[in-house]
Structure 1
């Protein structure tokens, strides 16, 4: 049968879209505009592959996809044809060669605050070094250990018939393991019924905001604070009031002043390693905050995102260890093992946990039972504790190396305190500089950091940078520091 149609498509090898998908889109575009009418014979797979300059297996995948979608039909003796069930199209004059769409359609009137669309991004391009906001080094992830535990978790989940829909609070074994860990190591008093697993601590924050906040509720946050938490609060309708901080953490006297003026529903804070400055809330202020919560009836949402990474002494006990009825405690295993595992949790009274589970039923239903079983095993067998000790030692070493890099490179032009814990430094320049311009110049020199303006709850200018050190190896820390200094010098006109 004569098949005079010649296939032409501009394949973009640099595009993230797979080649076969690009070809599928191009053929659909030709059918839609009438270049290929219903019943038209398609070239054989070898001829098509030669014409497109791709492997025949790619064309087989293209035809299989188009047949599955109903655009093409096949006859074992005659070949492949455009489906006759499609409406007839009139060819458009001077139609350009089909190619991958350059831009996708947009949806108008998306109901989301503008700030939700400002997603911070650090490049993963080869050669670019990034001071992140304090994430662990994925190269230290115990992948072999996790893989073996995951394999066993798969088998156990299968034997226990746990691959169906389960408890939205999460796998009981992991909730029990986390409960035991919190009771022994962090001074809480919980049972598995006080634990709800989430896909990371950010999901836990979001759930707390949805359950705790109603439109118009007054919620207190630290003046400099974690941006996604503030956005989650704003989405829930909160009236956010910023509380100043100093070298001892949140100023509790300012909290009391607000409580005397208006009803406060809750306070969100990061008391162990304040985000972004890394300071710890002092013992006296911890006691005072708990007393204020009991006196004025507000709830404390405690985000303890990297509890284990404290280098000077044992980690401070959470606020939740002093009064669990006044505190909703949020934790994460992401920095202990790997962010990719997506395991966070909430520890709270059972009525709150049950409400959180009801919300999860409408979000993602539940986590991965095999992963949760694997992590439970790693906690129970002591593997998480051993990995934590090993990685904490390495991060302490990198902290000291980064301190030396900053002192040797910047001298007195930069001010900072070496953090007692956490995976980032908070640095401030002695003289006022344009941090936005510094960010731009740094990108030109292939070193990046997150924008400082995102930390402020009041919109005021932030005069500091949060520079994560843990994800960079010593040689990378030295190079990244030199690049940052070079950017600073060009900004200073030196």
Structure 2
């Protein structure tokens, strides 16, 4: 038996519950190669005595491991590491120097092509069923503006009005390091992070550095259209990979890799856009192994990790990547307010420095004062309180939204209740013309997508994303009344 007494360190002062601490430690032991597939875990009684916690807490930790796909329970035998998991070799200590590693993915530090921005549609209708955006009315804007004004009045705050680091506010990068560690188990330093104006800037910067014209990037058959367009603008070829209920089909990707060079894989493992499915842990680990073997980059778009309503969300690929093959992109805009353009990208220090050089050519720096204000909001706990409050409200709205969908549109719309995210992927009856539906709804004061945004050369569903988060229960009822009148 492994020395679990020393391996599992419990912090009773932490805001993370004890069973999650135990669960996360086991995940680290598995992803580091210390625990192998089919290895038996100690009984709940033995482990509780070893580490000094309640036996029921250990049982909860094991249940969480099983629910996340890391372990399995065998009757009368005990709990084992999931036998289907790929075998992982023990990790080496990470390199501390900033030069490009000989083992990681290959990227090119050259950028020439301009990025063409597409115009955004501004909704002016009284009621909007959007793509899945947060409710800006819930955001603590007053507190943010209070911190913004307070910083601008302080004598040292005037320095934030000068040119600053292209990588973004150091205080915000430190705050995000702590935030990623506490919520995702992702241990990084400020030199691993660049602050961006939302996740889209991160996707663009990463594509410019990783891809050259005529390189191939693997994306889902269903995928985030704006990201696909970004890769095309770079001159890359898109290799479409099937997506099912367990996320991107990594076995299919493996077959492609045997006869085609793939430079990168773009993936949304949590709440895949547009379908909302979540990638299984087995596929995540296999994708990481393939990235190591074939030396391609993984661009992980994790735009709304914070909104998961049922089980604890799976750890991002970046949290269990030991070969520096993952570029991790996140957004505060998607969880706070879309117009406040704050996002971040995490990667190896040399890659982040090159990203800053590119960003400097197109956007010298972000709003340092706003970034500093957000840093204060993270440090004083206001962001955490906002996420907790929003999560509770969005879960209630999701439940109400889905109940009405089931009751009022059972013959018109098929859907699954999403485990997380801010939208429902709604498949409409083939007899319904979505373009006409959208046009008729607009005439009656309701804005809803006509579905064209989600289509591409291989994917053409009669479906739309129906965002529930930005609508109160009363607004949802009004929207559905209009939609029902059209049908």
Contact 1:157 1:163 in 2 (8 A): no
Please give the TM-score of this superposition, normalised by the length of structure 2: 0.74
Q: What is the match of residue 257 of structure 2?
A: 259
Deviation at 1:357?
Answer: 0.5
Deviation at 1:243?
Answer: 1.1
Q: What is the match of residue 280 of structure 1?
A: 278
Deviation at 1:456?
Answer: 3.0
Q: What is the match of residue 386 of structure 2?
A: 387
Q: What SS is found at the alignment partner of 2:177? A: helix
In the alignment, the residues of structure 2 paired with residue 205 and residue 155 of structure 1 have an alpha-carbon distance, to the nearest angstrom, of: 35
In the alignment, the residues of structure 1 paired with residue 284 and residue 431 of structure 2 have an alpha-carbon distance, to the nearest angstrom, of: 33
Q: What SS is found at the alignment partner of 1:300? A: strand
Contact 2:194 2:356 in 1 (8 A): yes
Deviation at 1:483?
Answer: 1.5
Alpha-carbon deviations, 1:419-465, whole Å to 9, x = none?
A: 00000000112444322222222222322223323223425422221
CA, structure 1 residues 118+165, in 2 after alignment: closer, same or farther (shift >3 Å)? closer
Contact 1:122 1:130 in 2 (8 A): no
Deviation at 1:185?
Answer: 1.6
Aligned residues between the structures: 374
Pick 1 or 2: higher relative contact order, CA cutoff 8 A, min separation 6: 2
Correspondence list, 1:390-429, <5 A: 390-429=389-428
- More moved, 341-350 vs 157-166: 157-166
Q: What is the match of residue 178 of structure 1?
A: 176
In the alignment, the residues of structure 1 paired with residue 411 and residue 336 of structure 2 have an alpha-carbon distance, to the nearest angstrom, of: 37
Unpaired runs of 5+ in structure 1?
1-110, 490-494
Which has more radius of gyration?
1
Q: What is the match of residue 306 of structure 2?
A: 308
Contact 2:135 2:471 in 1 (8 A): yes
In the alignment, the residues of structure 1 paired with residue 205 and residue 156 of structure 2 have an alpha-carbon distance, to the nearest angstrom, of: 30
CA, structure 1 residues 358+446, in 2 after alignment: closer, same or farther (shift >3 Å)? same
Contact 2:430 2:462 in 1 (8 A): no
Unpaired runs of 5+ in structure 2?
1-112
The equivalent position to 1:190 in structure 2, one of 188, 191, 196, is: 188
Q: What is the match of residue 138 of structure 1?
A: 136
In the alignment, the residues of structure 1 paired with residue 161 and residue 117 of structure 2 have an alpha-carbon distance, to the nearest angstrom, of: 35
Q: What is the match of residue 479 of structure 1?
A: 478
Deviation at 1:485?
Answer: 2.4
In the alignment, the residues of structure 1 paired with residue 157 and residue 285 of structure 2 have an alpha-carbon distance, to the nearest angstrom, of: 48
Q: What is the match of residue 110 of structure 2?
A: none
Please give the TM-score of this superposition, normalised by the length of structure 1: 0.73
Deviation at 1:213?
Answer: 1.1
Correspondence list, 1:102-181, <5 A: 119=119, 121-125=121-125, 127=126, 129-156=127-154, 158-159=156-157, 161-181=159-179
Q: What is the match of residue 225 of structure 1?
A: 223
Q: What is the match of residue 349 of structure 2?
A: 350
Deviation at 1:294?
Answer: 1.0
Deviation at 1:151?
Answer: 1.8
Q: What is the match of residue 248 of structure 1?
A: 246
Alpha-carbon deviations, 1:96-136, whole Å to 9, x = none?
A: xxxxxxxxxxxxxxx999xx6764525224x3x21111101
In the alignment, the residues of structure 2 paired with residue 364 and residue 157 of structure 1 have an alpha-carbon distance, to the nearest angstrom, of: 26
In the alignment, the residues of structure 2 paired with residue 337 and residue 290 of structure 1 have an alpha-carbon distance, to the nearest angstrom, of: 30
Q: What SS is found at the alignment partner of 2:161? A: coil
In the alignment, the residues of structure 2 paired with residue 118 and residue 144 of structure 1 have an alpha-carbon distance, to the nearest angstrom, of: 31
Deviation at 1:180?
Answer: 1.5
Alpha-carbon deviations, 1:369-418, whole Å to 9, x = none?
A: 21111111111111100110001111111101101111121124321100
Q: What SS is found at the alignment partner of 2:447? A: strand
In the alignment, the residues of structure 2 paired with residue 120 and residue 432 of structure 1 have an alpha-carbon distance, to the nearest angstrom, of: 29
Q: What SS is found at the alignment partner of 2:206? A: helix
Deviation at 1:160?
Answer: 6.6
CA, structure 1 residues 302+361, in 2 after alignment: closer, same or farther (shift >3 Å)? same
CA, structure 1 residues 289+456, in 2 after alignment: closer, same or farther (shift >3 Å)? farther
In the alignment, the residues of structure 2 paired with residue 184 and residue 123 of structure 1 have an alpha-carbon distance, to the nearest angstrom, of: 36
Contact 2:309 2:420 in 1 (8 A): yes
In the alignment, the residues of structure 2 paired with residue 404 and residue 176 of structure 1 have an alpha-carbon distance, to the nearest angstrom, of: 42
Alpha-carbon deviations, 1:27-75, whole Å to 9, x = none?
A: xxxxxxxxxxxxxxxxxxxxxxxxxxxxxxxxxxxxxxxxxxxxxxxxx
CA, structure 1 residues 161+456, in 2 after alignment: closer, same or farther (shift >3 Å)? same
In the alignment, the residues of structure 1 paired with residue 319 and residue 406 of structure 2 have an alpha-carbon distance, to the nearest angstrom, of: 38
Deviation at 1:257?
Answer: 1.5
Deviation at 1:334?
Answer: 1.0
Contact 1:269 1:301 in 2 (8 A): yes
In the alignment, the residues of structure 2 paired with residue 309 and residue 293 of structure 1 have an alpha-carbon distance, to the nearest angstrom, of: 28
Contact 2:401 2:476 in 1 (8 A): yes
Contact 1:453 1:462 in 2 (8 A): no
Deviation at 1:363?
Answer: 1.2
Deviation at 1:482?
Answer: 2.0
Q: What is the match of residue 372 of structure 1?
A: 371
